[in-house]
Structure 1
């Protein structure tokens, strides 16, 4: 018996030691969790019993140069239900279905769903949200929210851009300055039971949202309106595909207006501004929307034609390969290697000096200047002028210049490039480079943004932009201003003449590819006053019908816009003598 008794005592001892060790381990683990992991598990418990609803921050407003609000916020509501707080489901279904114009079956499905919160409808007009709130229905939540609102509808639509359902910028300045405009959302914290259903609405905790900052622009609503009206008028008169216009201060790059007609309604950006084929697929519909939202001034390239002669002339003068009095002869064409390249005047201009060649927009004259420069110097000035990069404008999606590689450019390519063909450029790059040539030689960065203010009206950042000085000499810049003033006074741009103002400019008529279709882009670039430019404008008219010459249909549009905006900008007319009036 004794051995058996000893055996059992040993088993009991082993079991006791094992249990004691296990208990010690459990106590040690419990102590570790309580002493060293308490904060972690407290947070998990808090998260388990809390639910949060977002309070959207008010997006920062956008103001024009005069302090006019051009992008604002409209208060809307989100209506939702909490299942376990509803005391009369049938009443809730009936009221929400009627006031929100949602089917009773849809409302019933969400009311009867046992969940923490079900959204019935978002972006509800505030008056309707207030009406729902006034019904004082148990279990129904009405939270105020913000929706972007554009007071001027379609004005500058492809510049401003718009926001999506989450109030984030999608295109234009709205997306470019998203970090400033968006603000920080707040939250409403509520207690829930183990199943995640809100149980104590009186214990709500709020973290208030921080409103976004306001953005102030150089864009001027009044100038934008003048430009849009003028562009729309010529588009309708010439039955053109589209018309674009940029108006800018050439001294600092501040853009006063950017027009792309037809524009679209910013408050309804997903509705096409023309009739769509009913058989179009979703993919085709999205492509049409992208096309409607596209900003031709920066996203599209084109052959600039004779407006590019500004760059060729400036490079030739700066390099010293041509002067105003150099003599040329135009028989109506120029032979380069094995190619006969025609002038726009088939009969030719005959004998002319360089100034007269510029006033006549004579292709052979500029071909000769390009050949005198040569490929190496041409590319040197293209780089010096900043022509081969992007402008750096504060809008997304800017396209770059499409140019021949230097190694692939022969004399024929050089000849065609010299008068604006066989390569492509954006309107924004062209007007920026021209501005930099006529402003004394400072390469500027075109932009809309001027400053950012917080919700209290304090300036938190003055926006600044890069400049590059001495891309041409002051002497070359002065000569270019003189040449371009003569183009308007007596040359191809004479329809841009305004009595009492010194206007400079250059016309262009470029043939689109493929050439066999005989479709054109008519354009004109003009600036004033010619001796000290304060405003520059570029208009492009895509596929006009009938007469399509830039000097005939594009130059008068810029003259009309200048006639309206120059006095508005404080640029006064000069006294005109009877002799000057008779000459023009």
Structure 2
């Protein structure tokens, strides 16, 4: 086989060869330069500063301490601080620095006067954290304990004092349910996406605006880079990165009015809500009894938690949004609006009340046993005649009552920026069928017409309803926050009024109801005459809500009825009547009578509101008006 011919080699162009050689030279130069830089850096680290770094690696180490950021302040509508921060001293432990941890923890438990099992539980809970991350063993220690630990620090390797910002409640338990409290983040929370930037031991909002506005309030942590020796003792600071404070929350709340409400409700269970009728801004949100916020700092004890859990006045419940109660006669506003709007009644048509109404085989009594005699639409509201509303309710039917009640915002959540709000119940034929698989009975409508039976509402819902009736028919979403500002004062976010539409009913119908509500406070036979002020025209509606069947308390005097069986007392009002600015709703649990129990609380608030508006000083000796003796004109 003949040999294969050699491949033909083309001659390389001189210019092309020159370009190729130039590229090779550049590449070689870059390689040499990189090698020189690398060798120079190695010489700098290993020879020039070698002794220094060898000492750090063999004798010392660098530790990074995270510095908690101060949370943003919480202020009232005028910029007056409600909650700020103070330093808190915590005991933390670095397991890396404790050669004999059992002895250290045993000694520390004695100093802290704490059961050793509690400390061990905290250590076990932090086992998934990096070893360099300290475990918080005790929070908010007193000065004496701090001094003891500092004096014995050589005998407590790995133990140190951590200084953290803590909440400073300037007015004690002021607005406690609304502002909420902080607590250590839980394992369950750490697994949630929006807590991705947190770690074990961090403090987070657990309730109220502290939780809802956590992302604005929390701030950004700082870092302290420290050189420490083998025993964990600090040698020098290498670098400090300061924390950045959280943003400030400016509430719609008014400190003076909130304080007036809380003082008026002291020792009683219930709720007070004050709302601007033309914005939905909340000036007061008070649930009593309050939470004791100081008990939550550093983690609430089991003893304190159990005490609150079993307290018959239910301090853990925010009664403004979570308490669901029969509204009693305050609900007659909804029934009246439905009746006049649907043409079931006219303003002048009269009904006779003889003290009861027979329907089917049952007798439905009026709260005034002797009856109200002949009453028209407005007089029925003024005197709160049950028989009148039984009659119109029967003609309306439950579904029409429900339609108007729903348009007034009842039976559904208001949308307030707080968690766990309840929606209440406005029954209908469909609701009962779905809930109980039962048919609606006509007799049940009579109870609904006067705010009893299945009807349940929250104090916030009734305040919003009252505001909508007297502001011309606009239903506003309740607002708690006015604006959010950065630490430098720059406004980051503002909250404008949010209208959720118009309620049912004509302007004429609403005007008739408003006029009647003014009569409740200011005319003969009105059920809230105790609330009247000399310089301000107030309108409102009292309510007494049964909590048990009347057969349980038949024949008993008010004083003889056991507390838990006593009726709830309501009063929902507005002022000034000519051009309403605020609505107030007061609930006194088991207060028995709206006029004498809830009315004076509202009166004190109206008085203080107009004192503040007009710049007149408060009379410190004058509180809520004393409750009058109950007579036949009180519901």
1:340 paired to 2:363: yes
Identify the residue that residue 431 of structure 1 maps to in structure 2: 463
**Deviation of residue 222 (structure 1)?**
0.8
1:473 to 506, 509, 522: 506
**Equivalent residues of 1:264, 1:272 under 8 A apart:** no
When normalised by structure 2's length, the TM-score is 0.69
1:498 paired to 2:506: no
For residues 415-564 of structure 1, the aligned pairs below 5 Å read: 415-422=446-453, 423-464=455-496, 466-471=498-503, 472-490=505-523, 491-518=526-553, 519-544=566-591, 548-564=592-608
**Deviation of residue 141 (structure 1)?**
4.8
Equivalent-residue separation in structure 1 for 2:207 and 2:376 (angstroms): 48
1:212 to 242, 246, 251: 246
Flag the 1:465–1:51 CA change in 2: closer, same or farther, 3 A: farther
Identify the residue that residue 412 of structure 1 maps to in structure 2: 443
Flag the 1:119–1:488 CA change in 2: closer, same or farther, 3 A: closer
Equivalent-residue separation in structure 1 for 2:478 and 2:299 (angstroms): 29
1:265 paired to 2:267: no
Equivalent position SS for 2:273: strand
Equivalent position SS for 1:210: coil
Identify the residue that residue 566 of structure 1 maps to in structure 2: 610
1:251 to 278, 282, 289: 278
Equivalent-residue separation in structure 2 for 1:55 and 1:568 (angstroms): 42
**Equivalent residues of 1:190, 1:198 under 8 A apart:** no
Identify the residue that residue 27 of structure 1 maps to in structure 2: none
Flag the 1:217–1:517 CA change in 2: closer, same or farther, 3 A: farther
2:372 to 325, 332, 349: 349
Equivalent-residue separation in structure 2 for 1:450 and 1:501 (angstroms): 27
Flag the 1:86–1:443 CA change in 2: closer, same or farther, 3 A: closer
**Deviation of residue 367 (structure 1)?**
1.9
Equivalent-residue separation in structure 1 for 2:323 and 2:242 (angstroms): 43
Equivalent-residue separation in structure 1 for 2:216 and 2:291 (angstroms): 25
Flag the 1:489–1:144 CA change in 2: closer, same or farther, 3 A: same
Identify the residue that residue 170 of structure 2 maps to in structure 1: 151
- Give the length in aligned residue pairs: 499
Equivalent-residue separation in structure 2 for 1:210 and 1:178 (angstroms): 15
When normalised by structure 1's length, the TM-score is 0.75
**Equivalent residues of 1:224, 1:257 under 8 A apart:** yes
**Equivalent residues of 1:314, 1:437 under 8 A apart:** no
Identify the residue that residue 316 of structure 1 maps to in structure 2: 339
Equivalent-residue separation in structure 2 for 1:84 and 1:557 (angstroms): 59
Identify the residue that residue 170 of structure 1 maps to in structure 2: 206
Equivalent-residue separation in structure 2 for 1:360 and 1:162 (angstroms): 44
**Equivalent residues of 1:504, 1:530 under 8 A apart:** yes
Equivalent-residue separation in structure 2 for 1:315 and 1:486 (angstroms): 20
Flag the 1:211–1:480 CA change in 2: closer, same or farther, 3 A: same
Identify the residue that residue 287 of structure 1 maps to in structure 2: 309
Flag the 1:336–1:211 CA change in 2: closer, same or farther, 3 A: same
Equivalent-residue separation in structure 2 for 1:129 and 1:446 (angstroms): 45
**Equivalent residues of 2:219, 2:246 under 8 A apart:** yes
**1:422-466 Cα deviation digits (max 9, x unpaired):** 121111111111211111100011121111111111110002453
Equivalent position SS for 2:476: coil
Flag the 1:344–1:224 CA change in 2: closer, same or farther, 3 A: same
**Equivalent residues of 2:287, 2:320 under 8 A apart:** yes
Equivalent-residue separation in structure 1 for 2:468 and 2:90 (angstroms): 51
**Equivalent residues of 1:73, 1:148 under 8 A apart:** yes
Equivalent position SS for 2:363: strand
**1:38-77 Cα deviation digits (max 9, x unpaired):** xxxxxxxx9xx97543211111110011211111111123
Equivalent position SS for 1:344: coil
Equivalent-residue separation in structure 2 for 1:551 and 1:452 (angstroms): 39
Flag the 1:212–1:338 CA change in 2: closer, same or farther, 3 A: same
Task: Return 203-212 or 492-501, whichever deviates more.
Answer: 203-212
Query: What value does the CA root-mean-square deviation take over the aligned residues?
Result: 4.0
Task: Return 141-150 or 439-448, whichever deviates more.
Answer: 141-150
**Deviation of residue 130 (structure 1)?**
9.0
Equivalent position SS for 1:144: strand
**1:108-153 Cα deviation digits (max 9, x unpaired):** x99xxxx755666543468986997799979775443111120111
Identify the residue that residue 74 of structure 1 maps to in structure 2: 86
Equivalent-residue separation in structure 2 for 1:282 and 1:495 (angstroms): 39
Equivalent position SS for 1:380: helix
**Deviation of residue 537 (structure 1)?**
1.3
Equivalent-residue separation in structure 2 for 1:177 and 1:331 (angstroms): 55
Equivalent-residue separation in structure 2 for 1:200 and 1:152 (angstroms): 39
Equivalent-residue separation in structure 1 for 2:298 and 2:223 (angstroms): 33
Flag the 1:85–1:311 CA change in 2: closer, same or farther, 3 A: closer
For residues 85-124 of structure 1, the aligned pairs below 5 Å read: 116=132, 121-124=138-141
Task: Return 61-70 or 345-354, whichever deviates more.
Answer: 345-354
**Deviation of residue 85 (structure 1)?**
7.8
Unaligned runs of 5+ in 2: 1-56, 123-130, 185-201, 433-439, 554-565, 617-635
Equivalent-residue separation in structure 2 for 1:536 and 1:445 (angstroms): 14
Equivalent position SS for 1:164: strand
Equivalent-residue separation in structure 2 for 1:306 and 1:317 (angstroms): 17
**Deviation of residue 563 (structure 1)?**
2.1
Flag the 1:310–1:283 CA change in 2: closer, same or farther, 3 A: same
Flag the 1:304–1:428 CA change in 2: closer, same or farther, 3 A: same
Identify the residue that residue 68 of structure 2 maps to in structure 1: 56
Equivalent-residue separation in structure 2 for 1:200 and 1:226 (angstroms): 51
Equivalent position SS for 2:614: coil
Task: Return 351-360 or 563-572, whichever deviates more.
Answer: 563-572
Identify the residue that residue 300 of structure 1 maps to in structure 2: 323
**Deviation of residue 514 (structure 1)?**
4.6
**1:468-526 Cα deviation digits (max 9, x unpaired):** 23213333322222110011111112111111211101111121135444421112112
Flag the 1:283–1:118 CA change in 2: closer, same or farther, 3 A: closer
